[in-house]
Amino acid sequence: MNKKHVVLKESFRCAILGIVDAWRNERNMKIHTAAMLLALAAGLWLRIDRLEWMFILSAVFLVLTMEMLNTSLERVVDMFTLEYHPLAGAAKNAAAGAALLASVYAILVAAFVLLPPLADRVNIF
């Protein structure tokens, strides 16, 4: 195996370790994972089409990505200061806000994509 393959393999290993660490240590990552599994199960059960899958998967991966970025920013800020600093607090709040916005987007996508076929399936509305 040449050096480029070793470096690429190591970068994937580090990325996977980062995902596993966030999932093990971050409550919100577990919550987002549970929501993802519910959305995927609902999509399969409701037999949504390809375009609807694209929206669901985009929303899911946006939320997970933003949660990973929020986690990394919080850890970097905590590494540099253990004392409260207004700029550190503002940075952490902004990252948390970005994760919240992604979550709201995912809820809206789920409502638009999953509620109509769910209503048809269970005969409500």
pLDDT in tens, the chain (125 residues): 677 777 899 999 999 999 999 999 999 999 999 999 999 999 999 999 999 999 999 999 999 999 999 999 999 999 988 888 999 999 999 999 999 999 999 999 999 999 999 999 888 65
Domains in the chain, start-ordered, CATH in brackets? 27-122 (1.10.287.3610)
Active site residue 83: no
What pLDDT is recorded for position 1? 65
Return d(Cα 64, Cα 99) in angstroms, integer: 8
What pLDDT is recorded for position 2? 74
What pLDDT is recorded for position 124? 67
**Marked catalytic residue, from 26, 52, 67, 74:** 67
The pTM of this model reads 0.88
Return d(Cα 23, Cα 29) in angstroms, integer: 5
